């Protein structure tokens, strides 16, 4: 923080102006003016632990209510001063209700000034007992301290408490009334423990603790000091530390000790190293870094992002069965708000490849994240932040940079031929999405199930909501890509009317049931109702090809219709024929990467007509004619000679 503004409040005569003057002059100054002007305290005067460029101290008068209220609203912290029993009572009866009525939520440092009047032990004990009810009853109160402007006693310490209340606030961390860490603080510290427990054995080993120390404070501690910490924890709660390391309970106990001993800076050093804000939420700049996405570009995972997610999968596949079961998924998503809502909406893990037990495999895990990044990269970015993704910057400091786990593709270009605009080919993308359009019961759901390697089922239930599946597709040459296939369900017409949705679609799969004579007419009607579909690369598919083919009773037959659109004839596919499925997926990806050959109504590029005669043919012909003429002449000459 660059500047902290401290407003000094209290009843008349408690010594507010004297405290400010004593702080600045470092000695007591008698006979000062009633209200001194704002004082700017430079950085050099501040405690080196608090990164503050300057601190402004604002004196106030209790009788000037309008000015007092204005200054309170402009400030970051309240320095509330009292000096006797009457002004002490006024804290709870007048001052704190006043602050609350203004709607401000500022930390309060309560200062008992003029403590030099009675320095007896009994008086000190009584004053300390005065502080306890204030700390317990008012959550705004950060700290209480005894001071003397006349003796310059604890004046600097009170000033530092004001700074610390802003830079390292206590109220989000600790509940004095209950004497324990607050729930949000516990949640944050448990997440930090989880991220630092790199082998996920439930302990912070010595090495893991030292790495945490280095990350948070850029310095290490020796083994003897670490052993002292572990012994102290075991003295409070036996078993909270052992040869294996410090447990999560011991880690919370250690941080509770930091708070109760006034070492707010230590616990905030840990929290801020993991990018927690004063409200104990993770900084939005970490979860949602600003990323400029050019129009017609898409977002994919970078190799760094894929590696991180692979390592995460391997770490939590504790039984090494190649799949994440429910318990393993729960542990994996522990430092996050849970499995993303979009995954639940898409019926994860049914949307990806699973093993025989129904657990998501590594192939399915990477496919799911590829789809999430393509459809909503902000969700991927946020969850990478929750998972603790980190990269090294050029200056070798660990910093969150979730954007380095993402790759932004080049903007797709557009071309024009014979007045029709079409999408140009792309070569740097590996994730594509496909909308499946077709009449109810034509086999779209079975197509998705087969795409994920699941056996065919005769059971049929109409698709109400959107159904989605994603899997990797291997192209000729070994290149791998991911294809997202979406069955639109009852919102089919709404999506096909949405230009923005269609622009994000790479290829349309028009599917019909080759064994149902009424099935193809649905596609013709869809095309007639939604003219914009002619701008999207399209592939026509005849499903259920293992059944008897029926003549389609439609305005146009499939083959002539696709030919009129300058498209390839329908592919005949069966969910039971694996080679045909592979052919379809490759065909869909080819149409997405090179739309020129799959855009409806786009005339094929004219080819150069082959000339009837070329120079070689003409030359050979001339030589042949000359040879024939010579032979004829010679033949005539010889005959003449004989005569």
Please give the pLDDT value at position 636.
47
Whether the predicted pLDDT of 535 surpasses 90: yes
Please indicate whether the domains covering 3-167 and 180-281 agree at the CATH topology level.
Answer: no
Whole-angstrom distance, CA of residue 537 vs CA of residue 425 = 11
The conformation of residue 95, written as its DSSP 8-state character, comes to I
Residue 460 burial (CB < 10 Å; 0-12/13-18/19+)? exposed
**Is the CATH code 3.40.50.300 the one for domain 430-597?**
yes
Over residues 485-493, mean pLDDT: 91
Over residues 562-571, mean pLDDT: 95
| The three-state (H, E, C) secondary structure of 537-588, written as one string | CEEEEEECCCCCCCCCCCCCCHHHHHHHCCCCCCEECCCCCHHHHHHHHHHH
Whole-angstrom distance, CA of residue 15 vs CA of residue 23 = 12
| Confidence label for 132 from pLDDT (cuts 50, 70 and 90) | confident
Whether the predicted pLDDT of 461 surpasses 80: no
Whole-angstrom distance, CA of residue 473 vs CA of residue 589 = 8
Reduce the DSSP state of residue 78 to 3 states and report it: strand
Tell me the per-residue pLDDT of 273-323, one tens digit each, with 9 for 90 and over.
999 998 999 999 999 999 999 999 999 999 999 999 999 999 999 999 999
| Confidence label for 462 from pLDDT (cuts 50, 70 and 90) | low
Over residues 131-144, mean pLDDT: 90
Q: Is the model's pTM score more than 0.95?
A: no
User: 114-123, 265-274, 474-483, 499-508: which range is least confident on average?
Assistant: 114-123
Over residues 351-380, mean pLDDT: 96
Q: 299-408: which CATH number, 3.30.70.20, 3.10.105.10, 3.40.50.300, 1.10.238.10?
A: 1.10.238.10
Q: Name, in order, each residue with C-beta under 8 angstroms of 331's C-beta and a sequence gap of 6 or more.
A: 200, 316
Please give the pLDDT value at position 479.
86
Tell me the per-residue pLDDT of 502-527, one tens digit each, with 9 for 90 and over.
999 999 999 999 999 999 999 999 99
**Chain center to CA of 432:** 21
User: 261-270, 376-385, 397-406: which range is least confident on average?
Assistant: 397-406
User: 135-139, 269-273, 345-349, 448-452: which range is least confident on average?
Assistant: 135-139
Give Cα separations from 258 to 8, 180, 183, 261, 268 (angstroms).
Answer: 28, 12, 17, 5, 10
Please give the pLDDT value at position 417.
86
Please give the pLDDT value at position 45.
57
Superfamily, domain 3-167:
P-loop containing nucleotide triphosphate hydrolases (3.40.50.300)
User: 9-13, 40-44, 320-324, 553-557: which range is least confident on average?
Assistant: 40-44
Whole-angstrom distance, CA of residue 74 vs CA of residue 66 = 13
Residue 288 burial (CB < 10 Å; 0-12/13-18/19+)? middle
Q: Phi then psi for 178, rounded to 5 degrees? A: -95, -15
Over residues 261-282, mean pLDDT: 92
Please give the pLDDT value at position 118.
61
Over residues 342-357, mean pLDDT: 94
Contact 621, 615 (CB under 8 A): no
Domains in the chain: boundaries: 3-167, 180-281, 299-408, 430-597
| Confidence label for 628 from pLDDT (cuts 50, 70 and 90) | very low
Cross-sheet strand order for the sheet of 39-42: 39-42, 54-59, 3-10, 77-82, 108-112, 141-146
Over residues 241-252, mean pLDDT: 94
Tell me the per-residue pLDDT of 160-169, one tens digit each, with 9 for 90 and over.
999 999 999 9
Please give the pLDDT value at position 575.
81
Please give the pLDDT value at position 127.
54
What is the CATH number that goes with domain 180-281? Answer: 1.10.238.10
| Confidence label for 573 from pLDDT (cuts 50, 70 and 90) | very high
Contact 51, 66 (CB under 8 A): no
Whether the predicted pLDDT of 122 surpasses 50: no
Of 467, 461, 462, 534, the residue nearest 496 (C-alpha) = 534
| Confidence label for 412 from pLDDT (cuts 50, 70 and 90) | very high
Task: Characterize 537-553 residue by residue with b for buried, 16 or more Cβ atoms within 10 angstroms of its Cβ, and e for exposed.
Answer: bbbbbbbbbeeeeeebe
| DSSP labels, 376-435 | -HHHHHHHHHHTT--EE-TTS-EE--GGGGEEEPPPPPEEEETTEEEEPP-SS--EEEEE
Over residues 518-539, mean pLDDT: 94
Q: Bin 495: left if φ > 0, else alpha if -120 < ψ < 50, else beta.
A: alpha
Whole-angstrom distance, CA of residue 434 vs CA of residue 595 = 13
Of 521, 533, 482, the residue nearest 375 (C-alpha) = 482
Whole-angstrom distance, CA of residue 593 vs CA of residue 585 = 12
Reduce the DSSP state of residue 21 to 3 states and report it: helix
Please give the pLDDT value at position 627.
46
Please give the pLDDT value at position 123.
46
**Chain center to CA of 357:** 29
Please give the pLDDT value at position 273.
93
Q: Report the mean per-residue pLDDT for the chain.
A: 87
| Confidence label for 603 from pLDDT (cuts 50, 70 and 90) | confident
Whole-angstrom distance, CA of residue 113 vs CA of residue 111 = 6
Contact 410, 296 (CB under 8 A): no
Determine how many CB atoms are found less than 10 A away from the CB of residue 71.
19
Please give the pLDDT value at position 193.
97
User: 130-139, 185-194, 376-385, 564-573: which range is least confident on average?
Assistant: 130-139
Whether the predicted pLDDT of 108 surpasses 80: yes
Whole-angstrom distance, CA of residue 206 vs CA of residue 193 = 13
Whole-angstrom distance, CA of residue 268 vs CA of residue 256 = 12
Q: At what angle do helices 444-451 and 578-593 cross, to 10 degrees?
A: 90
Tell me the per-residue pLDDT of 51-107, one tens digit each, with 9 for 90 and over.
677 899 999 999 999 999 999 999 999 999 999 999 999 999 999 999 999 999 899
């Amino acid at each position: 923080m660059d500047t902290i503004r401290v407003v000094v409040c209290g009843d008349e005569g408690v010594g507010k102006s004297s405290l400010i003057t004593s702080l600045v002059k470092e000695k007591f100054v008698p006979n000062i003016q009633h209200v001194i002007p704002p004082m700017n305290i430079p950085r050099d005067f501040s405690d080196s632990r608090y990164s503050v460029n300057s601190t402004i101290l604002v004196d106030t008068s209790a009788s000037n209510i309008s000015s007092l209220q204005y200054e309170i609203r402009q400030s970051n912290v309240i320095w509330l001063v009292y000096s006797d029993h009457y002004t002490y009572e006024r804290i709870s009866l007048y001052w704190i209700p006043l602050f609350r009525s203004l709607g401000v939520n500022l930390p309060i440092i309560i200062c008992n000034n003029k403590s030099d009047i009675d320095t007896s032990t009994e008086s000190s004990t009584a004053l300390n007992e005065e502080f306890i009810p204030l700390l317990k009853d008012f959550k705004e109160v950060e700290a209480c301290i005894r001071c003397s402007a006349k003796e310059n006693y604890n004046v600097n310490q009170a000033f530092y408490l004001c700074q610390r209340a802003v830079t390292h606030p206590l109220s989000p961390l600790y509940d004095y009334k209950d004497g324990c860490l607050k729930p949000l603080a516990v949640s944050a510290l448990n997440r930090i423990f989880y991220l630092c427990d790199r082998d996920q054995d439930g302990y912070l080993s010595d090495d893991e603790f030292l790495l945490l120390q280095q990350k948070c404070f850029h310095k290490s501690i020796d083994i003897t000091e670490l052993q002292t910490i572990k012994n102290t924890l075991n003295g409070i709660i036996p078993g909270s530390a052992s040869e294996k390391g410090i447990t999560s309970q011991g880690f919370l106990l250690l941080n509770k000790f930091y708070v109760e001993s006034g070492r707010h800076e230590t616990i905030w050093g840990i929290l801020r190293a993991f990018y927690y804000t004063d409200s104990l939420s993770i900084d939005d700049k970490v979860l949602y870094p600003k990323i400029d996405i050019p129009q017609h570009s898409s977002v994919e995972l970078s190799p760094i992002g894929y590696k991180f997610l692979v390592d995460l999968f391997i770490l939590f596949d504790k039984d090494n069965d190649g799949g994440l079961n429910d318990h393993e998924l729960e542990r994996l998503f522990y430092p996050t708000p849970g499995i993303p809502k979009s995954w639940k909406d898409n019926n994860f893990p049914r949307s990806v490849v699973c093993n025989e037990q129904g657990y998501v495999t590594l192939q399915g895990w990477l496919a799911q994240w590829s789809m999430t990044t393509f459809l909503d990269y902000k969700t991927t970015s946020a969850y990478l932040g929750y998972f603790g993704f980190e990269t090294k910057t050029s200056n070798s400091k660990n910093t969150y940079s979730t954007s380095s786990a993402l790759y932004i593709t080049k903007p797709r270009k557009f071309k024009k031929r014979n007045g029709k605009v079409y999408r140009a080919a792309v070569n740097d993308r590996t994730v594509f999405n496909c909308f499946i359009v077709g009449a109810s019961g034509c086999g779209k759901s079975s197509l998705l199930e087969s795409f994920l390697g699941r056996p065919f089922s005769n059971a049929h239930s109409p698709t109400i909501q959107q159904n989605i599946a994603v899997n990797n597709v291997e192209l000729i040459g070994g290149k791998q890509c991911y294809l997202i296939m979406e069955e639109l369900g009852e919102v089919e017409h709404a999506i096909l009317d949405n230009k923005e949705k269609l622009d994000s679609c790479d290829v349309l799969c028009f599917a019909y049931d080759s064994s149902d004579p009424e099935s193809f007419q649905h596609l013709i009607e869809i095309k007639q109702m939604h003219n914009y579909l002619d701008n999207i690369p399209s592939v026509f598919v005849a499903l259920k090809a293992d059944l008897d083919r029926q003549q389609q009773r439609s305005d146009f037959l499939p083959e002539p219709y696709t030919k009129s659109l300058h498209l390839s004839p329908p592919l005949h596919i069966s969910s039971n024929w694996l080679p045909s499925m592979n052919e379809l997926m490759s065909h869909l990806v080819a149409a997405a990467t090179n739309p020129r050959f799959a855009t409806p109504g786009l005339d094929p590029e004219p080819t150069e007509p082959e000339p009837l005669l070329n120079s070689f043919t003409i030359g050979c012909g001339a030589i042949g004619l000359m040879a024939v003429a010579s032979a004829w002449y010679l033949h005539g000459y010889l005959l003449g000679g004989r005569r």
